[in-house]
Chains A and B, each alone.
Chain A
Amino acid sequence: MIVLDPNGEKLNLMALNVGPTHPATHHCVRLLTALDGETIVAGVHEIGFMHRGFEKMAERGTWQQVIPYTDRLNYCSAMMNNIAFCRTVENMFGIEIPERNKVLRVIVNELSRINDHFICVAAAFQDLGGTTPFMYAFNPREEIMLIWEKLTGARLTNSFARIGGLYRDSYNGFEEDVLAACKSVEKALKDLHACLDRNRIFLDRTVGIGKISAERAISYGWTGPVLRATGVASDLRKDEPYYDYETYDWEVVVGTQGDANDRLQVRLAEIEESVKIVRQALKRLAPGPVDIVDPRIRVPAHQMAYQDMEGLIGRFKSVYEGIRVPQGEYYCGTECANGELGFTIIADGSGHPYRIKARSPSFAHVSAFAEMVEGLTLSDSMAILPGLNMIAGELDR
């Protein structure tokens, strides 16, 4: 297209469409750019290619039936979404989950965070042409996935948390597996840092690219590692602690520049902190129940249904009618791998959710993408996008 630039000079811009399916967009997102040579003069982007109507579907089942749908929000750390949703509903019930459940949730949360951050960093490096770190990051990730398989029976969409409990207790040998995984995570971190920190090509591509100020990031609603990369020490695990996060010894990681490199380095440093938390949590993992005892909230154990009249009634009511969440409205945010995952819940007192709105971190991050890439080259835009860790599952819901 032929345009006059602000100085009145005639320019011939090329309109170039990137996506929806492009190797570097990972999922489906479309960016339409006006290019002057290789520089992006203006960009607009479009999302929604993975919109599956999570919120409409959630209204159609019982409260427990929402849990598998939450898996599909951020599927790189599926269990964190389960836990975030269950925590919101548990807060509405006003119940306190047992100590062992809390510690298990912390371990699962932090291992999921490690997984999620590994995928993000590995994919970001892969997009810039580095295949080696990808393999370094995926070895420990595979170990964690094997733990998931043993723990939940699934690799990707685990549906592990339940309202007022967990699907089941951990298996024999869980602690040893987690410790071994922690060791390989630490080893992989060393390898990754060796690849990243002094890699001239990588630094040239990412340092100073896609900078965003803290004010702008806050205005865009950024949360999580991408906000912390701009230097804002905001982490719900410290700010509004839950599951006794405040009693663990760990630090909130912040960056200084808010550029593409910082966003990845913050993630790597957070993996280190997560390993710290997991090691401490393993020491606290004492035997005990994982489910609360209240047949109106947590369905009674399966053997109870065959031996006990009340157990049978409890199962029947819970499965057919759903648990009855008290009438009211609530917003609750939880720190997930990408940032604050919040649920606005409208409950009408019946066994079905009246309305559930998911506030996904990716939605806020990606909304700034077009503005961030303007003035950069096209290849820079693909160095920025993976650092935002756009997950279409939670972006489009």
Chain B
Amino acid sequence: MESVEKIVSLLEEKFGAQRESLAKWDACVVIAKENLHAAVKFLKNDAPAKMEMLLDAAGIDYLTYPNHEGPRFAVSYAFKSMSTVGARVRLKVLVSEADLKVPTLTDLYASANWLEREVFDQFGILFEGHPDLRRILNHCEFVGHPLRKDYPAQKRQWLSTSDYLVPELEKRLESKGYKVIERSEEINPVDEEFLEGSRK
């Protein structure tokens, strides 16, 4: 597609992106972490085909990938344009094990909130500036990141308590301009262990 080709060359020009040689069937560029936010902002607002929708963020662990060189993790973002029908592009950032931080896209796309939480949950990649980086699919007491290649699939964990969620509710109230003065008795359990489990 013409506009997608234009976007790819613009990304290469402006943000030093590189075409992903492994993506043989769709347009995908690898971009440095520092440029990710600016590049996505460009994709959303100024690109020849504006990418209004963030469809997916997929974490990848290259630990056992044959002949892989470079950082262990990657996050692949899939974008779709609503104004230019059929235009899609993928952006990939490489994340090394030593520095698991990636800038968040939550200020640009509402969908980024849960998508990034999922990547954090499954791979342990930390999204800087995310307003609510908690586990989403796995249990709040879960230890480790199950989609990493070195997490054994058969491993079992003992999970005891449900997520407390009240601190999140209070945070939500505060963000709407309310001020919480007092928690009510019935939702303020005295059992410290219960609280500890849910706050991890």
Contact = CB atoms under 8 A, between A and B. Distances in A.
B189 to A, nearest CB: 12
Interface string B50-65: 0011111011110001
Contacts of B118: 363
B137 A48 contact: yes
A32 interface: yes
B42 interface: no
B180 interface: yes
Interface in B127-171: 135-139, 146-147, 153, 163, 165-166, 168-170
A326 B24 contact: yes
Given A41-B176, A42-B176, A397-B137, A218 B184 contact: no
A213 to B, nearest CB: 12
B70 to A, nearest CB: 14
A348 B149 CA distance: 14
A44 interface: yes
Question: Chain B interface residue count: which class?
Answer: 35 or more
Contacts of B168: 32, 44
Contact of A32 (B24, B78, B113, B169): B169
B118 to A, nearest CB: 8
Contacts of B110: 216, 219-221, 367-368
Contacts of A13: 173
B44 to A, nearest CB: 10
B165 A46 contact: yes
A87 B25 CA distance: 13
Contacts of A173: none
Interface in A320-368: 326-333, 340, 342, 344, 346, 348-350, 354-355, 357, 359, 363-364, 367-368
Interface in A111-169: none
A309 interface: no
B182 A2 contact: yes
Contacts of B165: 30, 32, 44, 46
Nearest to A331: B78
Nearest to A344: B58
Contacts of A193: none
Contacts of B139: 48
A14 B183 CA distance: 10
Interface in B17-33: 20, 22-26, 28
Interface stretch (A52-60, A70-78, A273-281): A52-60
B109 interface: yes
Contacts of B66: 348-350
Contact of B55 (A48, A53, A92, A342): A342
Contacts of A329: 20, 22-23, 28, 76
A223 B153 CA distance: 32
Interface string A35-65: 0000001111011100101011100100000
Nearest to B184: A1
Interface stretch (A3-11, A194-202, A293-301): A3-11
B78 A51 contact: no
Contacts of A379: none
Question: Chain A interface residue count: which class?
Answer: 35 or more
Given A15-B169, A60-B153, A1 B23 contact: no
A348 B65 contact: yes
A364 B85 CA distance: 20
A349 B68 CA distance: 13
Contact of B111 (A344, A350, A364): A364
A60 B64 CA distance: 13
A359 B179 contact: no
Contact of A4 (B58, B147, B181): B181
B73 to A, nearest CB: 11
A219 B137 CA distance: 21
A47 B20 CA distance: 34
A34 interface: yes
A14 B149 CA distance: 44
A110 to B, nearest CB: 22
Contacts of B178: 3-6, 11, 41-42
Given A2-B181, A41-B173, 14 more contacts: A6-B176, A32-B168, A53-B146, A53-B153, A57-B153, A92-B25, A219-B109, A219-B110, A329-B23, A330-B25, A333-B80, A355-B58, A355-B61, A370-B172
28 contacts: A5-B178, A14-B184, A15-B169, A32-B169, A42-B169, A42-B172, A43-B172, A44-B165, A44-B172, A55-B122, A92-B25, A219-B52, A221-B55, A221-B110, A234-B82, A239-B85, A239-B86, A240-B86, A326-B24, A329-B28, A342-B78, A344-B76, A346-B60, A355-B147, A357-B59, A367-B110, A367-B114, A374-B176
A-B interface, 8 closest residue pairs, ranked by CB to CB distance from nearest: A221-B111, A6-B177, A357-B58, A359-B56, A4-B179, A344-B58, A219-B110, A367-B114
